[in-house]
Structure 1
Amino acid sequence: MKKEERIKELRELIEKYSYYYYTLNESLISDVEFDKLLKELEDLEKVNPQYSMFDSPTMQVGSSLKNTKFSKVTHKEKMLSLSNSYNIGEIEDFIKRVDKLLENRKKPSYVLEVKLDGLSISVTYKDGKLVQGVTRGDGVIGEDVTENILQIQSIPKFLKEKIDIEVRGEIVLPISKFQKINEKRLANGEEIFANPRNAASGTLRQLDPEIVKERGLDCYFYFVVGGEKYGIKTHREAFDFIEKIGLKTTGIDEVLTSVEEIDKRIEYWKDAREKLDYETDGMVLKVNEIEYWEVLGNTTKSPRWAIAYKFPAKQVSTKLLGITWQVGRTGKITPVAELEEVEVSGSRVKRASLHNFDEIVRKDIKIGDKVFIEKAAEIIPQVVKSIKELRTGEEQEVLAPTTCPICGTTLEKEEGLVDLKCPNPSCPAKVQGRFEYFVSRDGMNIIGLGQKIVERFLELGYLNDVTDIYRLSEHREEMEGLEKMGKKSVENLLNSIEESKQREYSKVLYSLGIPEVGKFMANLLADESGNIDRLLEMTRDELLMINGVGEKVADSIINFFASEENLEIIEKLKGFGLNFSGEKQSKVEKNVFEGKTFLVTGKLTKFTREGIKEEIEKFGGKNLSAVSKNLDYLIVGEKAGSKLKKAQEIGTIKIITEDEFFNIVSEKE
């Protein structure tokens, strides 16, 4: 494609995506993808100035304000957007540019604040009374939404001081409110909002102010226009002034002086932002000294004294290539989206959950669609929505399966439930799923019996039900002769199987795979019953008397133990010496680490890595995956490296040795 044609194509795409984002409150692509297109256009225009145009998207800020329902207002001072960065190297480059432009002046300090993912607003007060609220729009002209912002409680109608002032901030929809709104829309059969930002923008543009009031928008302010005339000399002082006159800030405005400090705090907020009740998509770094702002100046779109650092995208768009139907240990049929590989929240993703067929219908998802995906709770990728506006007509409807994709049995659907299920108890997928569940970390934690090995042993006839795991020693010689096994791996596997006989009662109970009984419920039932025989004797009413056990769980337990096959497995496992009883622990003992977070680093001598994590959770603690201000304890083994150094730099994390941890838990055993 010729450069002129590509430039034209990019302009059309960017204008289309901008219109949907700013005017229709619909995201057709992720912010990262949009920024890439804009950067490509900027680069092409730079080396091909003959094709540059004054109305190019590279020269514009925000919305073009097409088809707006509100009256237009020209900003007295242009509302610029921020240039974006995606790694600390680009932050370093920004600071170097600032230093160069300030030449021999005193080095500046910087203010780091959260980048709210909402809708920019400029609010004007006359003699302390709110008189106008205007959206950013295209940076020069915005929409007058005064009537609607009067419905937002955090934007006061009167300031604490009778002054004339223009302040700027971000209107957001709190995550807690967003979830409730979507629950209500779902119950009413309405399409749910894709994210809080779209919901906030759509709400603020409602013609009925009562809807704005009902949804509970919030607003945080961060900028005073012409701050010098109020005696404000630094950006940090502006926050104090904003709060002094009765307006709300996030309270996150840290003054920093070095790249190292900035890097450390950005890393901290990557995790800490999850505790906030509003969406953030990055951090904003601004030169603190306002006198330098005029020296540094602006580009057409952005100030040279500020930059945004964008966190890895939580939500990105990609193409749905197909759907694979998986069969779980209970026979539940789950659709899995096969995707064009894409990066989301820092990892590569090419498969995502679609939960069930009803979810596919509700979200109107078709094969070939462009879809948004995100990581639920930062762990499991899932499809959020299809982007119908980008359909070409070649997309294919998704048809519900009628037979099990593994064994061919006709599927069933229980009345009142959404899941399709394979009823065949001998379905290979269900059998394998039960084994994988039994040996999992939260269950018997048998190292060496992974998915491929279980599948292989099933094919060879070594395994028929989970009790056969404890007979695998009978196949030692045969296993040693298998490809990629060998004597050492077989010995390790058999040792792990033997060790599993010492697992506590709650883990054995979990491993049985009773429907509705997960890790928490297994701990609760083990604690309340004391042993399996007492649990078997419990009636439905007795189970319901246990705090935390509902009707669905009670019925599932009764049904599970009504099966002769399940009872036979329990008896066999008893015969192999598994632990089906346990003393009830006191609440103090169980929760000695309640509310505390832990991370382990270095080589351990008294525990395995998984073993020490189990001990932490056993006593109420939580395991983290990285060093941050959220960490309470770092347990260090031999040759502890960068994690120890980082914890020491933070200074608030308690560092203990493996021996010290061992002594603590030994006293509580």
Structure 2
Amino acid sequence: MSGDIKLFEDGMKEKYEKLRKEIEKHNNLYYNEDNPIISDMEYDKLIRELRDLEESNPDLKVEYEIKNSKVGSGSEKSENENVSPTEKIGGIASEKFSKVRHRVPMLSLSNTYNISEIEDFDKRVKKIIDVKKKIDYVLELKLDGLSISLIYENGVLKQGITRGDGQIGEDVTENIMEIESIPKKLKEPISLEVRGEVILPISEFGRINQEREDEGEDVFANPRNAAAGTIRQLDKSIVKERKLDCYLYYLVNAEEYGMKTHKESIEYIEKLGFKTTKIFELYNDFGKLEKAIDVWKTKREKLDYETDGLVIKVNEFEHYDELGYTTKSPRWAIAYKFPAEQVKTKLYDVTFQVGRTGVVTPVAELEAVNLSGSVVKRASLHNFDEIRRKEIKIGDNVIIEKAAEIIPQVVNVVFEDRKGDEKDIEVPTNCPICDSELVKEEGQVALKCLNPQCPEKVKREIAYFVSRDAMNITGLGEKIVEKFIELGKIKTVVDIYSLKNYAEELENLEKMGKKSVENLINSIEESKKQGFSKVLYALGIPFVGKFNANLLTKNYNSIELLKEKSIEDLLEIKGIGDKVAVAIHTYLNDENNWAKIVALKEIGLQFEAEKAEEEKIEDNPIKGKSFLATGKLEKYKRNDIKDIILAKGGNYLSGVTKKLDYLIAGEKAGSKLSKAEELGVRVLTEEEFEKEFLEK
């Protein structure tokens, strides 16, 4: 036992225990709570440190694994439970969902931030495999989302399972069914298992975080956390609302389907109807592969989904068994991870923003610094709990990075730079705009200004109300709104409809003129034609986005009927969850909110679904036909055309297929136009679309 004595003498055992517990803590935060507090690079550094300790002191690992060996009883138990963190995937299956054992273990990939280690990987592969055999590598994107396994029987989707710890995952089938890009039925009646990544588009990430900030909820640190948190929701309507996407990249046991290479298997699953990134580049020259990695470091920034690296896989399946596996990852693949660009700067002040719903958000004012190609002077601090957790003070040197390459945020404090004169960030007690007392509502992390006439709240409420997806009023910019709030002409959204009485004053504002004012007033009047669903959405009721507004108005055709319903009544609507039901009931039964609705109704806004709408759909030529718009359009935005088609009972496709009836093509229509002509799909100009389908 002399080895044990040495371990205690030099403190190695204590160091090992402390490091292992630290890693387990971060595993839980990342995999199970979807709330990591360190970067991937910092986490990987901890894993490497633990691995180095285990390699130089093997008794440490043996003792740990013996001590943690347990015999399962009753429930599904993973073989990984007593394994060192260096040898297992860090997640566990949540108790919220049924646990499912993977038919084939769902492994993770070994990774590196160093090109030289990619070269070492190539050398190891060539050392094991006969060098006379052909070795191709496939380079593909490493998506930063939630790993998922999809099981199909006779071409029909039967089950969706998260990775969990690689042995046992969570059954999230109901939520997976809400993701549009996952086919519910394949193009062939085949049974198979395919794996990929559920992601949240970057464009959606920004929208969702803004909504969460407005509602006083914790924002997501990055799209990966948002995707993982969404898939684990018990309310599947939230999954639908957040517009998750899914890209597939691996066919389990592909050789059983006659495939000989990874690239061939990808082409096959694409034919079955699965969505892939279509980025699977083949290389047999390792020098060219390394150059491609450099290209993707910047090229990836143009994508609408988060990538945290690239994956290099041996292409030929015949080599996989020969190369083998560890308990955690295959030896025929490796991930090269892009280090997140981080910079150090000084936080010299904290200011406070007031959102549409009154939520007060702290913002870090920074010394200007270049980050990911742009100058950053401000960064989100999210909420005061976050400030407390990270121990941030005014005067600190801090590390910042961009979440999803777009949103600057403070990652951590450089504590060793502290001089002692840093100041605590004081939590405000009053609104920084209107000086009303701030409150913290039960179950919320954020402070709120409850004054309905707070100028900043009114300004943001109006911006939401006039947006394209809501009342679609163009020309009502922030400066005009600010000016009229200042002059007392606008106090709520109701006052927008009185602006026609101040046309002369509007014309005298900077950058306004007679024609601009005329267009604005016309747009305000035109907004009265928006349907009940859009008007309900425009009110900005918490948790009532476009999807939920549409569901509510389909079930109850007037605002009065909706107001009468209890929370229990609302919960009977398929797709409406607890949060939405409580929010709509609370909002409509608030005296001030109802007074606003009554005033808007008197002005002429539509708070009732059009009668005989079904008959209208029956009579129009769009019903039952499939459309797609492409290229630069003059009269419409693509989403406007999509809304028109869907409202009239038509279908709007995401790509050109044999099922497409009409392609509406603008300038620079590109490959979609070529494919449509090749398939014999009828191509229309905007004018032809209007004449044939809208003027009847």
Return the TM-score normalized by structure 1. 0.55
Q: What is the RMSD computed on CA atoms of the aligned residues?
A: 5.4
Separation in structure 2 between the aligned mates of residue 543 and residue 416 of structure 1, nearest angstrom? 22
1:545 matched to 2:572? The reply is yes
What amino acid does structure 2 have at the position aligned with 1:230? D
Q: Which residue does the alignment assign to 2:522?
A: 495
Q: Which residue does the alignment assign to 2:640?
A: 611
The secondary structure found in structure 1 opposite 2:109 is strand
Trace 1:271-420 onto structure 2 (pairs within 5 A): 280-281=308-309, 316-344=343-371, 346-420=373-447
| Structure 1 gap ranges (5+) | 1-66, 71-147, 149-172, 287-307
1:602 matched to 2:450? The reply is no
Query: 30, 50, 56: which one pairs with 1:182?
Result: 30
Query: 94, 101, 124: which one pairs with 1:225?
Result: 124
Q: Which residue does the alignment assign to 1:236?
A: 136
Separation in structure 1 between the aligned mates of residue 281 and residue 506 of structure 2, nearest angstrom? 62
The verdict on how the C-alpha distance between 1:343 and 1:254 changes in structure 2, with shifts beyond 3 A counting, is farther
Query: 167, 188, 205: which one pairs with 2:49?
Result: 205
Separation in structure 2 between the aligned mates of residue 617 and residue 357 of structure 1, nearest angstrom? 43
Q: Which residue does the alignment assign to 1:63?
A: none
Q: Which residue does the alignment assign to 1:432?
A: 459
The verdict on how the C-alpha distance between 1:523 and 1:386 changes in structure 2, with shifts beyond 3 A counting, is farther
The verdict on how the C-alpha distance between 1:255 and 1:657 changes in structure 2, with shifts beyond 3 A counting, is farther
What amino acid does structure 1 have at the position aligned with 2:670? L
Separation in structure 2 between the aligned mates of residue 486 and residue 363 of structure 1, nearest angstrom? 50
Cα drift, residue 404 of structure 1:
1.1
Separation in structure 1 between the aligned mates of residue 12 and residue 650 of structure 2, nearest angstrom? 54
The verdict on how the C-alpha distance between 1:585 and 1:511 changes in structure 2, with shifts beyond 3 A counting, is farther
More off after superposition, 502-511 vs 250-259: 250-259
Trace 1:127-206 onto structure 2 (pairs within 5 A): 181-182=29-30, 192-206=36-50
Does the 8 Å contact 2:627/2:650 carry over to 1? no
Separation in structure 2 between the aligned mates of residue 465 and residue 230 of structure 1, nearest angstrom? 75
Separation in structure 2 between the aligned mates of residue 614 and residue 350 of structure 1, nearest angstrom? 38
Trace 1:617-656 onto structure 2 (pairs within 5 A): 638-640=666-668, 644=670
Does the 8 Å contact 1:616/1:623 carry over to 2? no
Deviations 1:273-323 (A, max 9, x none): 8778xx63468999xxxxxxxxxxxxxxxxxxxxx9997956554433322
The verdict on how the C-alpha distance between 1:615 and 1:204 changes in structure 2, with shifts beyond 3 A counting, is farther
Cα drift, residue 249 of structure 1:
8.8
The verdict on how the C-alpha distance between 1:196 and 1:226 changes in structure 2, with shifts beyond 3 A counting, is closer
Does the 8 Å contact 2:628/2:663 carry over to 1? yes
Cα drift, residue 486 of structure 1:
0.9
The verdict on how the C-alpha distance between 1:516 and 1:603 changes in structure 2, with shifts beyond 3 A counting, is closer
The verdict on how the C-alpha distance between 1:666 and 1:354 changes in structure 2, with shifts beyond 3 A counting, is farther
Query: 456, 459, 473: which one pairs with 2:486?
Result: 459
Q: Which residue does the alignment assign to 1:471?
A: 498
More off after superposition, 216-225 vs 563-572: 216-225
The secondary structure found in structure 2 opposite 1:448 is coil
Cα drift, residue 639 of structure 1:
4.0
Does the 8 Å contact 2:453/2:491 carry over to 1? no
Q: Which residue does the alignment assign to 1:556?
A: 583
Cα drift, residue 401 of structure 1:
0.9
- For these two proteins, the number of residue pairs brought into alignment is 454
Cα drift, residue 469 of structure 1:
1.2
Does the 8 Å contact 2:349/2:364 carry over to 1? yes
Which is higher, the Rg of structure 1 or of structure 2?
1
Deviations 1:644-667 (A, max 9, x none): 379979x99999655499479959
What amino acid does structure 1 have at the position aligned with 2:124? V
The verdict on how the C-alpha distance between 1:285 and 1:537 changes in structure 2, with shifts beyond 3 A counting, is closer
Separation in structure 2 between the aligned mates of residue 598 and residue 371 of structure 1, nearest angstrom? 48
1:531 matched to 2:558? The reply is yes
Trace 1:56-67 onto structure 2 (pairs within 5 A): none
Q: Which residue does the alignment assign to 1:504?
A: 531
Cα drift, residue 508 of structure 1:
0.5
What amino acid does structure 1 have at the position aligned with 2:353? Q
Q: Which residue does the alignment assign to 2:241?
A: none
Q: Which residue does the alignment assign to 1:484?
A: 511
The secondary structure found in structure 2 opposite 1:527 is helix
- Percent of pairs with identical residues: 41
Separation in structure 2 between the aligned mates of residue 395 and residue 659 of structure 1, nearest angstrom? 61
What amino acid does structure 2 have at the position aligned with 1:225? R
Q: Which residue does the alignment assign to 1:270?
A: 300
Does the 8 Å contact 2:628/2:662 carry over to 1? yes
Does the 8 Å contact 2:345/2:397 carry over to 1? yes
